[in-house]
Chain A
């Protein structure tokens, strides 16, 4: 699993509270410095076989060897830095197509025209501790998609395959 550095450095009178996600493959055996994506504080870590042997320790004045892969701020609605944000998160060179640099593709219907539940944001669950029921009533929870589905049905755009 990916390790993190939770930056709590005070900046402008309040803690930074940014979670910097480290790349699990890269960090299995690794020693060096990483900067926080939000405030730029430099931390030193020494990881052996995926175990954080030393750190994270602040190293003021040092230059960071690398940047985190991804970072987000849970107390601010999960505002985040996606991979490849210049000066914040690590660039990655193997992005295969320019289309992939945008936001995730959101579809509301499958290729045969029936509704899928794949978009965001989702309405929060009603349950306790992350509990979800076993049936998602599209008519109740996404009436606009239900309406679109009815139109598709009427136009004969819903197929079996």
Chain B
């Protein structure tokens, strides 16, 4: 019988013929993720915060980073800086040698330091002297058009200048106002803060580093972790405030003390003290609950001939983890620590301080004639978890970060070829990914764009302000 063209036969259609076959036809999860997130093509997708407009009266790392998060997610952000000087962080280059020029068109011999990177991406940069009453009126003009502001001046400074939330909310009741700074209101209201001060004040540094009897000291993380993390937490609060405004139509004020953040990062320290009166001790590269689960020093560098001291001398550390009974047994068998296995068969015996000193001591003795990669290979081959402690160069060369786009190159519109990481380190979003358009721009680079194009100020007036150093 001839086939009736109006009848659809499932076996003649392309694609799976049964549910089981459909399961088989599905692309592997790996491929699915690659297609979904499409790393490297972020700019073809929309942004999540398009339409949100933010003012950034910020300096250093902590508050600028809070706003940079919004800018990476698509908010339009104006950073307001001091005329001709800019943010103090521009002048805080690592080792005072890594500058990108120019800082400003009147200062061709001054540059912006690399320390400014990652906390100021995608922002527009204008200048304004808040001490001039005429400029405060211009500032109010911006507040009327914008959704929110983040500032970091000493508590009450913006209030003194009639620029704090209680004044601005009268102009724009939908305005979201963030103060971020050292201590906030309270007994140390005028106390300024730095990252290291935060780590010290909240006790975080007291539980970082090796104990003194092992030659260690209280330690701060080399990078300004509290600054970066405080910025992230402010952004989370801003998202909540934006959501609250969608429901109520009203703005709000967020008061964020930087020295609170390290308390959140201290884990169970405070509950431990509250319940038992025990003051937590630091345990450095080892773990108070798990053993073996720490970082050990190996005898030989992976790059003994390298020029860079970080490669030449420091490529000797390896992370080793074998805390489950079977894994620990295997670790002891490979490393020849059989007597230790007999001694510390149970996990609660191994986690004791004295036992850990003995176990890690024996491990480092075993690794004394081996390089870091040899140690990791031996342990990995035995099915144990071990990983070299990488430096920045090795992380840059790591295929993992490269494939996921965490570390990548950007042809910055002003500064040319630059490697970057922070903007793409916060997870991947399928529909509205984060993106970096530019690292930063010179001081006052967008004065004309904002004052003329956005606020309608005539160029003659802008010129006058510029000559008087109002902007």
Chain A interface (Cβ < 8 Å from any Cβ of B): 1-2, 24, 28, 49-50, 77-78, 96-97, 100, 104-105, 109-112, 114-122, 124-125, 127-132, 134-136, 138, 161
- Asked if A115 and B416 sit within 8 Å, CB to CB, the answer is yes
Residue numbers in A under 8 Å from B402 (CB-CB): 161
Interface set, chain B 87-121, CB cutoff 8 A to A: 88, 95-102, 104-111
A sample of 7 inter-chain contacts (CB < 8 A) reads A96-B95, A104-B98, A111-B419, A115-B416, A115-B417, A117-B101, A120-B101
Chain B interface (Cβ < 8 Å from any Cβ of A): 59, 82, 85, 88, 95-102, 104-111, 127, 154, 190, 192, 397, 402, 409, 411-419, 438, 441-449, 451, 459, 462-463, 465-466, 471
Contact of A117 among B96, B100, B107, B397 (CB under 8 A): B100
- Asked if A130 and B416 sit within 8 Å, CB to CB, the answer is no
- Asked if A120 and B111 sit within 8 Å, CB to CB, the answer is yes
- Asked if A132 and B465 sit within 8 Å, CB to CB, the answer is no
Determine the distance from Cα of A42 to Cα of B405 in the docked complex, in whole angstroms: 55
Residue numbers in A under 8 Å from B105 (CB-CB): 124-125, 127, 130, 132
New A-B contacts (4) at CB < 8 Å, excluding given A120-B101, A121-B101, A129-B471: A116-B417, A118-B111, A119-B101, A132-B414
- Asked if A116 and B445 sit within 8 Å, CB to CB, the answer is no
Q: Say whether, besides A118-B101, A131-B445, A100 and B95 are in contact (CB < 8 Å).
A: yes
Contact of A28 among B88, B107, B192 (CB under 8 A): B192
Contact of B98 among A105, A128, A130 (CB under 8 A): A105
Determine the distance from Cα of A119 to Cα of B415 in the docked complex, in whole angstroms: 10
- Asked if A49 and B463 sit within 8 Å, CB to CB, the answer is no
Q: Say whether, besides A105-B97, A115-B416, A129 and B465 are in contact (CB < 8 Å).
A: yes
Residue numbers in A under 8 Å from B418 (CB-CB): 110, 116
- Asked if A129 and B444 sit within 8 Å, CB to CB, the answer is yes
- Asked if B108 and A122 sit within 8 Å, CB to CB, the answer is yes
Residue numbers in A under 8 Å from B192 (CB-CB): 28, 50
Residue numbers in A under 8 Å from B154 (CB-CB): 49-50
Q: From residue A93, how far is it (CB to closest CB) to chain B in Å?
A: 14
Contact of B82 among A1, A28, A109 (CB under 8 A): A1
Q: From residue A157, how far is it (CB to closest CB) to chain B in Å?
A: 13
Q: From residue A132, how far is it (CB to closest CB) to chain B in Å?
A: 4
Q: From residue A123, how far is it (CB to closest CB) to chain B in Å?
A: 8
- Asked if B88 and A2 sit within 8 Å, CB to CB, the answer is yes
- Asked if B466 and A136 sit within 8 Å, CB to CB, the answer is no
- Asked if A1 and B414 sit within 8 Å, CB to CB, the answer is no
- Asked if B97 and A116 sit within 8 Å, CB to CB, the answer is no
- Asked if A131 and B448 sit within 8 Å, CB to CB, the answer is yes
- 10 tightest A-B CB contacts, nearest first: A130-B444, A114-B417, A116-B416, A110-B417, A129-B466, A131-B448, A132-B445, A121-B108, A120-B101, A125-B105
Determine the distance from Cα of A1 to Cα of B84 in the docked complex, in whole angstroms: 13
**Among the interface residues B102, B106, B447, B459, which one has the most CB atoms of the partner chain A within 10 A?**
B102
- Asked if B127 and A130 sit within 8 Å, CB to CB, the answer is yes
Q: From residue A89, how far is it (CB to closest CB) to chain B in Å?
A: 13
Q: From residue A85, how far is it (CB to closest CB) to chain B in Å?
A: 14
Residue numbers in A under 8 Å from B465 (CB-CB): 129
Residue numbers in A under 8 Å from B416 (CB-CB): 110, 114-118, 136, 138
Q: Say whether, besides A112-B409, A112-B417, A120 and B466 are in contact (CB < 8 Å).
A: no
Residue numbers in A under 8 Å from B414 (CB-CB): 117, 132, 134, 136
Residue numbers in B under 8 Å from A118 (CB-CB): 99-101, 111, 415-416
- Asked if A130 and B108 sit within 8 Å, CB to CB, the answer is no
Q: From residue A146, how far is it (CB to closest CB) to chain B in Å?
A: 11
Residue numbers in B under 8 Å from A105 (CB-CB): 97-98
Q: Say whether, besides A105-B97, A124-B105, A130 and B111 are in contact (CB < 8 Å).
A: no
Closest to B409 in A: A112
- Asked if A131 and B446 sit within 8 Å, CB to CB, the answer is yes
**Among the interface residues A24, A105, A125, A129, which one has the most CB atoms of the partner chain B within 10 A?**
A129
- Asked if B447 and A131 sit within 8 Å, CB to CB, the answer is yes
Determine the distance from Cα of A135 to Cα of B412 in the docked complex, in whole angstroms: 9
- Asked if A132 and B95 sit within 8 Å, CB to CB, the answer is no
Determine the distance from Cα of A116 to Cα of B439 in the docked complex, in whole angstroms: 13
Q: From residue B139, how far is it (CB to closest CB) to chain A in Å?
A: 17
- Asked if A132 and B98 sit within 8 Å, CB to CB, the answer is no
Residue numbers in B under 8 Å from A110 (CB-CB): 409, 416-419
- Asked if A129 and B111 sit within 8 Å, CB to CB, the answer is no
- Asked if A130 and B101 sit within 8 Å, CB to CB, the answer is no
Contact of A122 among B59, B101, B412, B448 (CB under 8 A): B101
Contact of B96 among A24, A49, A104 (CB under 8 A): A104
Determine the distance from Cα of A84 to Cα of B7 in the docked complex, in whole angstroms: 90
